[in-house]
Chain A
Amino acid sequence: MQIHELTIAEQEALNSISAAKQLSVLDDVRVAYLGKKGQISLYLQTLGTLPPEERKAFGAAVNSVKERLTIALDKRKEVLEAEALNAALIQEELDITFPIRSRPLGYIHPVSRVIQECTSILSAMGFEVKEGPEIEDDFHNFTALNVPQDHPARQMQDTFYLNAKDHHDKPLLLRTHTSSVQIRSMIGNKPPFKFITTGRVYRSDYDVTHTPMFHQIEGVYIDKRIHMGHLKGCLNEFLRQFFELDTVPLRFRPSFFPFTEPSAEVDIGCARTKERVVIGAGSDWLEILGCGMVHPSVLKNIDVDPEEYQGFAFGVGVERLAMLKYGAPDLRAFFESDIRWLSHYGFTLSMIGGGK
């Protein structure tokens, strides 16, 4: 009889628990059944009135009902709490389409970026970086490099001269190439020499394809048995990595520079579309750099015996590389500090990570 009532009471309790929509209601249910004067608690108080043989079994039954209800209450409580939290959080909702708090990205100039890239490629190939002055004297910029006294490059229409003189009473000048730094780094030292120089150079020219200041990367490698084949191997590898290609089509053409013999100009294979030049594919050639075997007179000028040592040198324009790799069309824009250009063609942060 009593067991029957207990079962009904449990069922009612469970129904009330699942029907409870609020934590306060659920608590009322708990008090009504499991509170001190709750229905189930009251059954325990009636235990004493039962015959001893029924007492044990009925006690156990009441306790297990109590346990099941407690579990059901806890579970329901969890659910209601979660619902309550959700309801509260929904109240805190923000318009997630708001603009961000300003955290501007800066940009590194494409010229710096290209110098970084070239430096890291050539460094891995064993070239050390050397630096030197941009105001130069005639000896380091011309004479040591076997540029004849009457060579057109020395003329006022090609080279910028300063209103100041060197020790030999010749006007100081703005270096026309970074080869002057090579001379400074080699003179008074013994080969092997294997380094690159980068930086600003100056030539008196200002039109659509020339600016009076631009940047160069030049390399030199002098040792006992370095020949044109090494030059070819070096440039193949350098340009392949720079343009991020599996192979790079190169064409070496005989040319002339006072400081190299034999001399060559290097063309890179490309395809010209209306918008840009695509490097590495197609049937066209594009001149990209000058190079050659260091002229014996240059070696003599830096007190290196050309009978014993020989090697190669190359030079390339940084802006040209930047234009080809990154498609910046107008050379003059490189130096105009227009923030629209800088943020379009510039690079954020780390070179190795890529960055845009």
Chain B
Amino acid sequence: MKITLSWLKEFLETDANIATVTNTLTAIGLEVESVHNPAANLESFTVAYILEAVQHPNADKLRVCKVASGQEELQIVCGAENARAGIYVVLAPVGSVIPNGGMKIKQSSIRGVESQGMLCSAEELALGLASEGIIELPATDKDIGRRYVDVAGLNDPVIEIAITPNRGDCLGVYGIARDLAAAGIGKLKPIAISEIKGAGKSPIAVEIKNTQACSLFLGRYFRGVKNTASPAWLKQRLQSIGVNPISALVDITNYIMFSYGRPLHVYDADKLQGSLVVRNAKEGEKFKALDHKEHTLNASVPVITDGTEVQAIAGIIGGEKSGCSQTTKNVFLEIALFDPIMVAKAGRTLDIITDSRYRFERQVDPNFLVGAMAIASHLILEICGGEASEIIQSGDHNFKLRTVAFHPTAVESLTGMDVDPTRVNKILEALGFKYNGSEVVVPSWRPDIEGEADMVEEVARIIGYDHVPAVSLRYVAPRAILPEKERRKEIARQVLAGYGMLECITWSFMPANEAKRFSELKEGLRLLNPISNDLGYMRPSILPHLLSAVVRNVSRGHQDLALFEIGPVYHDVGIDAQEIMAGLIRSGKAVARNVHESERMIDIFDIKADVLGVLKACGIESDALRIERKVPSYYHPGRSGALLLGKTILAYFGQIHPLVTKAYGISVPVVGAEIMFNRIPLAKNTSSSRKALVFSDYQHSVRDFAFIIDEKIAVDDIIRSVKKIDKEKIQEVNLFDVYQGKHTEATKKSVAISVRIQASDHTLTEAELDAISKQVVETVGKLGGIQR
């Protein structure tokens, strides 16, 4: 909403300067977004008069003008077609800067003719208005030499205000003036326009067929008007907020809309075929609106017709056909009350944005139809002449004022501000409320006021939130900063960042055709209205986005990547179906070429370490986990595994299936993992989750064993069975070599392990150690292993 200081002063008696006005506006909830004074960069421009204009000797399109600047006679070369003797113009003297483009005016020679300044168009002055040729001012000789901004009344700051959607009453300058008056910035001038007595009946009647869309319709017929250009004051009002003047009738309706937040419409009565009917459009009905576009309507759009065709979309836009032009002689004025929801819906469906729609959507004052009629009638008769008919009315004037319970102590209770009741009374009165000490009557222009809390806000905002005292909260910290479930995610972040991985955050949605590679599609996980198809399906895994991230980073020359993300994934439809996953990707080299050691490509044991590290930090020891080859199809079938706790799969890890990496166009090796956080059992109580530590100070021994064994036997099976021999004394079993080649049979491998043995109560004797070693050999023997 744009207003100007002078427009505001039309309704508000005040001496306040621009800074006070804007600061107060923001403080009372009418947030000032910008203040712009168009005069700011036009100060050096003056009014001049063309004494003579002759053809340039060397250029067809240029004229050489003799110009009176008030001080001297200047010679100026001008290219505008309308540059001619006898007009008052805007002079940019030598040394001034043209606002549009920033050109500095210098004394120069144009095609051999001296030019001492420039005559300006509205466009060059960046006035935001369309222009043809140079500005022709309606000035007099007395104005020559005066500042252009003073003559044109441009020294008028424009204030742009963000009006919240509950404050439809402030979509007119008058409503803003009322709020400012309540805040002590001046005195609101009453709207004192007497009704005009009409002469004769309107030849055009109105019938409301859809009373839900339109509850009340006032109309008036004006005979014999002259739709001239608007007077200067009216043009200037509209121009000052960037609205182009069109014709007196249209400008009057705009002026009333911007002044009072009250949209109205004028029809060229001679273009109407008959009386007006408010009804819903027919499905597919066509309508050419004032925006010069043809709109196809549907049955939910309320329209105004003349019995034969649509002449306006209710509350949104008028029709091109019955629009007023300079030849309009008889005019029909519409002031109606349209339903905000129906206007909003129609506007959205048709995608038409107008100032009228904007105001109806936010509710106009249902008690300001007669008043607006009086103001409009006065202006039309004054500017356009003619004769007004009696007012016709369709629908009922059945608006009732509402009351809301309110006690001044509520202000203190909700805001902590101690307020004097007489101050409260004064504020409420200034805002138009009628208050009897326990109830307020809500003014018709404030449909947003529903209860006591709203009244508290009214009082508090006018006094100013600055006066709310800041009170410290009493701190009683909760038992733990994070619930266990949330803490897991933080643990994983720390562990993975500690392992050198970079945390990413990617969209929760992804292309459905890409998701298909990772999961069976479910219709219920499709967005009905995605930003684009690329963001149209709820992701079943984090890996696809990380793979895309690999692609992007590789294309920038970074191949050795370690990325992770912790976030939601969706396998099933519904509110409870969300799972929290950590997705991990490593690609390229684990060890890059360097001076200390040989380079190495990433492999699945790197990512397995990441996963086991996270699980261990979350309280799951790797000994408690089983490993199985039960993985989704986007993993390499031979180089991937699932980690299970009992029957629950906690994580997958492995090389990404070559077909998948190929589909992404990735040629470096990629391993990935997924950890399902929801499935990790919660520790019952973190403070007591550790067993007492038992350790032995007696001497330990390490014995090495090597076995020839079938290549199909998993190393983990050997290690686990050895550990099982004596859980107390066998403390560690480490695999230190696996060999398969010339020295082993075709289907066999050599496996070397070291076993650390220690007792808690004595140093083991040679005999005891031998006995355990014998058991190790026997146990592995049961798996088919023969000691080398």
Task: Choose one: B164, B166, B486, B591; the contact of A102 (CB below 8 Å).
Answer: B591
CA distance A124 to B529 in the complex (A): 41
Task: Choose one: B348, B477, B562; the contact of A123 (CB below 8 Å).
Answer: B477
Residue-by-residue, is B492-528 near A (CB-CB < 8 Å gives 1, otherwise 0)? 0110111111111111110000000000000111111
Q: Contact: A232 with B528, CB < 8 Å?
A: no
CA distance A319 to B784 in the complex (A): 60
B451 at the interface (CB under 8 A from A): yes
CA distance A150 to B503 in the complex (A): 40
Size category of the binding interface on chain B: 35 or more
Minimum distance in angstroms from A219 CB to a CB of chain B = 11
Q: Contact: B528 with A163, CB < 8 Å?
A: yes
Q: Contact: A124 with B483, CB < 8 Å?
A: no
Chain B contacts for A129, CB-based, 8 A: 481-483, 486
Residue-by-residue, is A105-129 near B (CB-CB < 8 Å gives 1, otherwise 0)? 1111101100010011001111111
Stretch touching chain A among B87-95, B575-583, B731-739: B575-583
Q: Contact: A163 with B470, CB < 8 Å?
A: no
Minimum distance in angstroms from B467 CB to a CB of chain A = 10
Task: Choose one: A120, A150, A162, A310; the contact of B527 (CB below 8 Å).
Answer: A162
A58 at the interface (CB under 8 A from B): no
CA distance A257 to B39 in the complex (A): 37
Task: Choose one: B452, B490, B502, B535; the contact of A346 (CB below 8 Å).
Answer: B502
Task: Choose one: A160, A221, A310, A334; the contact of B414 (CB below 8 Å).
Answer: A310
B415 at the interface (CB under 8 A from A): yes
Q: Contact: B574 with A164, CB < 8 Å?
A: yes
B257 at the interface (CB under 8 A from A): no
Chain A contacts for B485, CB-based, 8 A: 131
B679 at the interface (CB under 8 A from A): no
Stretch touching chain B among A17-25, A49-57, A198-206: A198-206
Q: Contact: B494 with A255, CB < 8 Å?
A: no
Q: Contact: A262 with B453, CB < 8 Å?
A: yes
Chain B contacts for A234, CB-based, 8 A: 473
CA distance A274 to B21 in the complex (A): 29
Q: Which residue of A lies closest to B476 (CB)?
A: A126
Residue-by-residue, is B596-612 near A (CB-CB < 8 Å gives 1, otherwise 0)? 11000000000000000
Minimum distance in angstroms from B301 CB to a CB of chain A = 16
CA distance A133 to B538 in the complex (A): 13
A160-B530, A162-B538, A335-B505 known; A256 vs B167 contact (CB < 8 Å): yes
A171 at the interface (CB under 8 A from B): yes
Task: Choose one: B460, B477, B527; the contact of A161 (CB below 8 Å).
Answer: B527
Minimum distance in angstroms from B590 CB to a CB of chain A = 9
Chain A contacts for B594, CB-based, 8 A: 99, 101-102
Q: Which residue of A lies closest to B412 (CB)?
A: A227
Residue-by-residue, is A213-242 near B (CB-CB < 8 Å gives 1, otherwise 0)? 100000001000101111011101100000
> Which of B506, B507, B528, B570 counts the most A-chain CB atoms under 10 A from its CB?
B528
CA distance A105 to B496 in the complex (A): 10
B381 at the interface (CB under 8 A from A): no
Q: Contact: B507 with A213, CB < 8 Å?
A: yes
Q: Contact: B414 with A135, CB < 8 Å?
A: no
Chain A contacts for B165, CB-based, 8 A: 152, 256
Q: Contact: A126 with B475, CB < 8 Å?
A: yes
Q: Contact: B595 with A119, CB < 8 Å?
A: no
Chain A contacts for B592, CB-based, 8 A: 102
Segment 281-322 of A: residues with Cβ below 8 Å from B: 293, 295-296, 310
Chain B contacts for A104, CB-based, 8 A: 500, 562
Q: Contact: A106 with B553, CB < 8 Å?
A: no
A133-B575, A253-B31 known; A336 vs B494 contact (CB < 8 Å): no
A343 at the interface (CB under 8 A from B): yes
Chain A contacts for B415, CB-based, 8 A: 227-229, 262, 293
Chain B contacts for A156, CB-based, 8 A: 528-529
Chain A contacts for B742, CB-based, 8 A: none
CA distance A99 to B593 in the complex (A): 12
Q: Which residue of B lies closest to A202 (CB)?
A: B508
A263 at the interface (CB under 8 A from B): yes
A349 at the interface (CB under 8 A from B): yes
Chain B contacts for A225, CB-based, 8 A: 413
Q: Contact: A162 with B545, CB < 8 Å?
A: no
Chain B contacts for A337, CB-based, 8 A: 504-506, 545-546, 548-549, 552-553, 563
The B interface is mostly helix, strand or loop, or mixed, namely: mixed
Chain B contacts for A296, CB-based, 8 A: 451-453
Minimum distance in angstroms from B110 CB to a CB of chain A = 39
> Which of A102, A162, A252 counts the most B-chain CB atoms under 10 A from its CB?
A162
A246 at the interface (CB under 8 A from B): no
Q: Contact: B475 with A349, CB < 8 Å?
A: no
Minimum distance in angstroms from A236 CB to a CB of chain B = 5
Residue-by-residue, is A176-213 near B (CB-CB < 8 Å gives 1, otherwise 0)? 00000000000000000000000010101010000011
Q: Contact: B461 with A237, CB < 8 Å?
A: no
Q: Contact: A106 with B496, CB < 8 Å?
A: yes
B284 at the interface (CB under 8 A from A): no
Chain A contacts for B453, CB-based, 8 A: 261-262, 293, 295-296
Minimum distance in angstroms from A111 CB to a CB of chain B = 6
Chain B contacts for A171, CB-based, 8 A: 528
A13 at the interface (CB under 8 A from B): no
Segment 412-470 of B: residues with Cβ below 8 Å from A: 413-417, 451-454, 456-457, 460-461, 465-466, 468-470
Q: Contact: B501 with A212, CB < 8 Å?
A: no
Chain A contacts for B470, CB-based, 8 A: 229, 232-233, 236
Chain A contacts for B531, CB-based, 8 A: 204, 206, 212
A227-B413, A337-B563 known; A254 vs B493 contact (CB < 8 Å): no
A338 at the interface (CB under 8 A from B): yes
CA distance A221 to B472 in the complex (A): 13
Chain B contacts for A106, CB-based, 8 A: 496-503, 562
Chain B contacts for A262, CB-based, 8 A: 414-415, 453, 456-457, 460-461
Minimum distance in angstroms from B597 CB to a CB of chain A = 7
Chain A contacts for B553, CB-based, 8 A: 337-339
A155 at the interface (CB under 8 A from B): yes
Q: Contact: A350 with B494, CB < 8 Å?
A: yes
Minimum distance in angstroms from B714 CB to a CB of chain A = 31
B558 at the interface (CB under 8 A from A): yes
CA distance A131 to B678 in the complex (A): 13
Chain B contacts for A98, CB-based, 8 A: 595-596
Chain A contacts for B333, CB-based, 8 A: none
Stretch touching chain A among B22-30, B193-201, B204-212, B767-775: B22-30
B746 at the interface (CB under 8 A from A): no
CA distance A335 to B413 in the complex (A): 44
B344 at the interface (CB under 8 A from A): yes
Q: Which residue of A lies closest to B454 (CB)?
A: A261
Minimum distance in angstroms from A169 CB to a CB of chain B = 14
Question: What are 24 A-B pairs with beta-carbon distances under 8 A?
Answer: A98-B595, A108-B494, A112-B503, A123-B477, A123-B478, A126-B476, A129-B483, A131-B486, A133-B576, A136-B575, A160-B527, A160-B528, A164-B523, A174-B508, A212-B507, A213-B508, A230-B471, A230-B473, A233-B473, A236-B470, A261-B454, A261-B456, A310-B413, A342-B504
Which B residues have a C-beta under 8 Å from some C-beta of A?
26-29, 31, 164-167, 341, 344-345, 348, 413-417, 451-454, 456-457, 460-461, 465-466, 468-478, 481-483, 485-486, 490, 493-494, 496-509, 523-531, 535, 538, 545-546, 548-549, 552-553, 556, 558, 561-563, 567-568, 570, 573-578, 591-592, 594-597
13 further A-B contacts with Cβ under 8 Å, apart from A161-B529, A254-B27, are: A101-B594, A102-B591, A106-B500, A124-B477, A125-B477, A126-B474, A136-B575, A160-B530, A212-B531, A213-B507, A236-B470, A339-B561, A339-B563
